Amino acid sequence: MPLSRKHVSFLLSVKDKDKRKRLQRRVAKEGWGTRRLGEEITKVEGRQSAGGRRPRAPETVDDALTQTVKMAESWLHWYGAVESTEGETPSLRDLTATVRKRLSEAMEKMESLRDSAERCLDKQRIS
């Protein structure tokens, strides 16, 4: 299987050449997608930080509320995607009852947080 640019990018994150070559052979032989490759790299290299840009510190209350709404919506979007997956992709049904319950509770809290932040934003804009 030919490797995509994303596969190559993931593989380049493995500093040890021998480990990288072994992973590269397994990707080609076993036909791994980038998600599986990323999981295997995490096993080999250990847990890494989330990466990406640091969140911008809010300069005003309005900024803080807007960021809160966006982050809550992002989490709710993720939850909705995991909740509705079928087939080979893991879904909530694959998790333990305790984890499913906690995720459901967290989803309700995120909805409440988003709604509260939106109400505060509306009040800020009116006054």
- What confidence score (pLDDT) does residue 49 get? 56
What local confidence, expressed as pLDDT, does residue 87 receive? 65
pLDDT in tens, the chain (127 residues): 678 888 888 888 888 899 889 999 999 999 888 888 888 888 887 765 556 677 789 999 999 999 999 999 999 998 888 877 666 667 777 788 999 899 999 999 999 999 999 999 999 888 7
Q: Are 116 and 64 in contact (CB under 8 A)?
A: no
User: Domain boundaries in the chain?
Assistant: 5-45, 61-126
Which alpha helices (DSSP H) does the chain contain, by range? 5-12, 17-30, 34-45, 61-83, 97-126
Report angle CA 64, 116, 97 to the nearest 5 degrees.
105
| pTM summary value | 0.56
pLDDT score at 35:
86
Sign of the CA dihedral with 69 first, then 72, 78, and 83 last: negative
Contacts of 114 (CB under 8 A, 6+ apart): 68, 69, 72, 73, 76
What span, in angstroms and rounded, lies between the C-alpha atoms of 34 and 8? 9
Burial of 59: CB neighbours in 10 Å, binned 0-12, 13-18, 19+: exposed
pLDDT at 48: 58
